[in-house]
Amino acid sequence: MIVNSYEGIVGPLDRTIEKALKGDHRSIARLITMVESESVSSRDIMKKIYPHTGNAHLIGVTGSPGAGKSTFLDKLITRIMENGKSIGVIAVDPSSPFTGGAVLGDRLRMQNHSLDPDVFIRSMGTRGSLGGLSRGTYEAALILDACGKDVVLIETVGVGQSEIDIIKIADTVALLLVPGMGDDIQIMKAGIMEIADVFIVNKADRDGTERIVREVNIMLDLQEEKPWRPPVIPTIAENGEGVERAAEAITGHWQFLQNTSEGKRRKYQRLRIEVEEILKREIARIAEKAWDRQIETDILDELFARKKDPYSVAENLLSEFIVR
C-alpha cells in the first residue's frame, strides 16, 4: 500500500530529475525548492543526483555587505561565458529566504544575466546546519553541478560564520575586500586570511587600494609557505576593470587543484564533511522524534518537580537508539 501511494510522487519526481539532468532550468528550480524545504523526497533527489556530480568548479565569492560581490559576479559571469561555459549562481541571503529584498537587489545587480537562458540564478536563505550556510546551499550547488553547469558561483555575505563556512563547500574562495571600509583590520580576524584562494580588492577607484593590496601581500609573506600563493587583484567591478585578471586567477586556482595533491585533499575533506553533516542531521531527527514521544508522558512534571534532571533524560533517550 505504502509503495503504491508513494509511486504517485516518485513518478513525476523522476521525470523532473531526468529533465533537470538534461539542463532544464524549471526542473532544476523545482528540485532546489524541494531540497531547500527539506521535503520528504529531498533525500531521494540527492541520492539520484549525486552520481552525476563532481564535475563543476564551485566558486565561493564572499566579502562584507556592499563590497560589490553581485556587481563583480555579473562581470565575472560574462567572462566565464565567453569561454563557452555554462553557469549556475546561488546568492545566499542571510536575512530571510522569503523577504525578496536582497533577492531583488542581487538580481538587479546581475541584471545582465538574470534573464539569460544560459545562466541559472537562485537566492537562498541561511537557515540550517552548516553553520552560517544552510545544507540546502550545498545541495543546490550539487544539483547545479549534476545538471551540467560547468561553474557554480556562490555569493555569501561575510557576516561571521558563513564566510568561513564557504570553504566547506567551494573549491575556490574569492574574498572581496574594499579600501577604506576597515577591511584591512577585518582580514586580520582569525580564519579569514586562511580561507581565501584569491583576494579581490574591489572599488579600486577609491583611495587606499594600493595600501590594502600591500598589506594583504605582507600578511601572506608572513604566513608559512604554501603550494598556492593567493594572488591579490584590484578590480573596479562597476566598469569591469581587473575582472579578467580575477577570472584568470580563479581559473588558475582550479587548475592548481586539478593537478596537485592539495586538490585531492580538499575533495576528500569535503566528502568527510558531507557524511558528517548528514549524520548530524539524521541523529537530530531521530532524537527529536524520541523526545516527542517521551514528552507525552509526565516527564515535564517530573523535571519541574526536580525529580529528574534534563541531562539524565537526554542520556536515557540517547541510549535508546545509540549502542555505546
Ligand X SMILES: Nc1nc2c(ncn2[C@@H]2O[C@H](COP(=O)(O)OP(=O)(O)OP(=O)(O)O)[C@@H](O)[C@H]2O)c(=O)[nH]1
The site partner of 67 among Mg ion, ligand X, none (C-beta below 5 to 8 Å per kind) is: ligand X
Nearer to ligand X, 42 or 71 (CB): 71
Distance of closest approach, residue 61 Cβ to ligand X, in angstroms: 9
Dihedral angle, C-alpha 271, 272, 278, 280, nearest 10 °: -160
Nearer to ligand X, 157 or 198 (CB): 157
Backbone phi, psi, residue 62, to 5°: -130, 165
The site partner of 244 among Mg ion, ligand X, none (C-beta below 5 to 8 Å per kind) is: none
Distance of closest approach, residue 210 Cβ to ligand X, in angstroms: 15
Distance of closest approach, residue 165 Cβ to ligand X, in angstroms: 16
Distance of closest approach, residue 200 Cβ to ligand X, in angstroms: 10
Binding region for Mg ion (CB under 5 A): 69-70, 106
Nearer to Mg ion, 69 or 203 (CB): 69
Distance of closest approach, residue 110 Cβ to ligand X, in angstroms: 9
The site partner of 202 among Mg ion, ligand X, none (C-beta below 5 to 8 Å per kind) is: ligand X
Nearer to Mg ion, 132 or 263 (CB): 132
The site partner of 113 among Mg ion, ligand X, none (C-beta below 5 to 8 Å per kind) is: none
The site partner of 97 among Mg ion, ligand X, none (C-beta below 5 to 8 Å per kind) is: none
Nearer to ligand X, 109 or 135 (CB): 109
Distance of alpha carbon 279 from alpha carbon 285, whole angstroms: 10
Residue nearest to ligand X (CB): 68
Distance of alpha carbon 100 from alpha carbon 272, whole angstroms: 34
Q: Which grid coordinates belong to 7? A: 509511486
The site partner of 62 among ligand X, Mg ion, none (C-beta below 5 to 8 Å per kind) is: none
**Quick one: residue 252, left, alpha or beta (phi over 0 = left, psi -120 to 50 = alpha)?**
alpha
Helix axes 261-295, 161-169, angle to 10 degrees: 120
Nearer to ligand X, 49 or 92 (CB): 92
Nearer to Mg ion, 49 or 151 (CB): 151
Distance of closest approach, residue 94 Cβ to ligand X, in angstroms: 9
Q: Angle at Cα 152 formed by Cα 255 and Cα 189, nearest 5°? A: 80
Binding region for ligand X (CB under 6 A): 63, 65-71, 106, 109, 157, 202-203, 205, 236-238
Distance of alpha carbon 108 from alpha carbon 125, whole angstroms: 18
